Amino acid sequence: MKSGLWKIGKGPINVGQLDRVLRILAGLCLVAILFIEASTWRLVGLLGLAYIFTGLTRWCPIYTWMGINTCSTKKT
């Protein structure tokens, strides 16, 4: 079993604070495309929802799959 912090009902927390802020900002920008564009680029705006979700939950399934963790670790 892997060690690390766990969120209730989710995988381990693997998105760090800077990564989290950037994901939420990028997600908001992409979601804005939904309201600005009237073409097929609106589908790209839906991708912003995934960025916002991973930023808010601090869990990225792709990071889990690839073994990436951007959280800072405390050294004792």
Encode pLDDT of 15-74 as tens digits: 999 999 999 999 999 999 888 888 888 888 889 999 999 999 999 999 989 999 998 876
> Would you state the pLDDT for residue 43?
84
| pLDDT at 1 exceeding the cut of 50 | no
Is residue 2 in a domain? no
Is residue 76 in a domain? no
Can you tell me the distance from the alpha carbon of 22 to that of 75, in angstroms, rounded to the nearest whole number?
25
Residue 62: domain span: 17-66
Cβ proximity of 7 and 59 under 8 Å: yes
Cβ proximity of 5 and 57 under 8 Å: no
Q: How many domains does the chain have?
A: 1
Q: What is the pTM of this model?
A: 0.76
Amino acid residing at 4: G
- If we measure between CA atoms, which residue out of 4, 40, 46 comes closest to residue 27? 46
> Would you state the pLDDT for residue 72?
81
Is residue 62 in a domain? yes
> Would you state the pLDDT for residue 25?
97
